[in-house]
Structure formats: structure tokens, C-alpha cells
Structure 1
């Protein structure tokens, strides 16, 4: 009888874990979905190389509305203006990208992986207002929204598992 009760408890716990496990699995995609509107640029990224420090940001600029496949560097080679909250280890990749904002508003940074990002201006991190996932089967894994005013910002990318990441910055309506 004791074995029967243990089996019932095990089955019940597995059944209750089912929906949680199902939510964590990415959807099975037959083909990528075509994005429209502000995210349409995701489909045709240009190439960029991330800067290793703030002195190299001019060559690592990403225009608002433009997607780029950004070549990253081993984390130990990057000198972040602010220590990332999640810097990653010596085998992770990161880098710096400059964003130039001309109009105030909420801006969304879309990423092709779960890398950690910080947006820095005036030596301080800009607080995010929302976090989410991209549309299913789009290739966008993570989206983070920031309230921005005109000026230059440093996008710090940290703790990426690969040496490249697709990034898109858009102004929300």
C-alpha cells in the first residue's frame, strides 16, 4: 500500500509539473515567422563588431530601427563603463554598442539570445520598464523596454553564450 501511495504522489506531482514544463519549452517552428511593423528589420540584420571600451563606440553604432548581427568578444577583453549586474564568466561573450536617440519615448531592445543587457547614460544605468519574449518563431528571444530622452547611450551586452548576437533597437509608438 505504501508503494501505491508513493506512486500516486509521484504521478500527481508530474501531472502538476506538466503545464509548467510546457511553458518553458520553446515552440516547435516549421519556419520563422515574418515580422511586420517596427520589428520587420529583424529579418535583414547588418554586421557590426562590438566595442571593447567606450573609446571604440563610434565604430560600433547601431541606428534606431536597424538590426545588426553583432560580433562579440570574450568577456575578459571588454571594459564595461559600469559593471554588468550579470557579467558572465570567462567563457562568455560581450561588448558595447552605441545608440543615438533623437526623440524622447520608450525604446525596445530586441535580442536573439538571453544575454544580459544594461543601457548606460551619463555613467548610470537606465532603468527598464518592461521585459518580455519576442513573438514565437521570430528568432527574438528577449525584449527590454527603456524610457529614453535624446542623447547617446551605451548598450552593454554581457553573459552571452555565443560570440555573436542579433540586436534591434526600435522606438515604440
Structure 2
């Protein structure tokens, strides 16, 4: 059993021990034989029985499994599954017909939304999706500073577009 805790474990979002006297999930009282355990994802406090799950919180190759509550185990597993699926399905493996259909839908969508209510054109910026690497002209209004999250119209992967 590995008792070494990661040095960079974030505890800022954890609920303080003294704030909770019962398990957040099952309601069992904490005491000498029923200890408090923090979910490393949500920071809430649970008993051992309600934090049986161990999973990495990111898809990084060297991410270590950590204790999570049952609810977060399901959420994190789904998130990691979606991330792995997006990476494992490069655009080259999609059928040409499917890719052509999605590209046409995206072009039609951009063409229809090409002007503001006052008739002026929206700024057009060509960006490449980091997942499927398709270059599309997305009509996005990027703030003067900062960035905006957009979704690729082909693979539906969200990514950031930064102001120039």
C-alpha cells in the first residue's frame, strides 16, 4: 500500500475537517473507527466506504490515481473517456462522406450567421482545430484581450481562440 501522498496535491478547495461530522454521502457519523476522507476532485468529506474509487484526475500519462467519492468517480471516468475518445479518433479515420457533410454544415452555419442584426459583418478569423486540424473560417467575436472557447463544427472539440 502506497502511503506517500503527492507533494503537489491541491487542498485549497477541501472542506475543513471540523466543518463536517457526518459523511456527505451516506450520513454515517465520523469517530475513532470511521475516519474522514477528502475527495481529491470535489473536496467534500466522506467515509472510507463512500470513497472506494481511485482514479487519475487528468489524462496525462504520469497522472497518479487518487481517492475520489463515488459521484466524482463516475464524472471523472466519463471525462477521461471522452478525452481519450477525442484523441483516438483522428479526422483521417472518419469516412470522407461524414467529414464532407460536417464541413458543409459548418459552412452553411457560418454563411447564415455572417452578419449582425445591424447588417455589419462579424469578424471572420481562420483557425485550425487542434484535434482534427481542419482549417475553417469560424465567425467568432474575439474580445480585444483574452480568449474565447469555441467548438469545432467538425469534431465538436472545444478549444480556445485568443485575441491577436
Q: TM above 0.5, one fold? A: no
- TM-score, structure 1 normalization: 0.30
- TM-score, structure 2 normalization: 0.31
**Structure (1/2) with the larger helix percentage:** 2
In terms of Rg, which structure is larger? 2
Q: Which one has more relative contact order, counting CA pairs under 8 Å at least 6 apart?
A: 1
**Structure (1/2) with the larger strand percentage:** 1
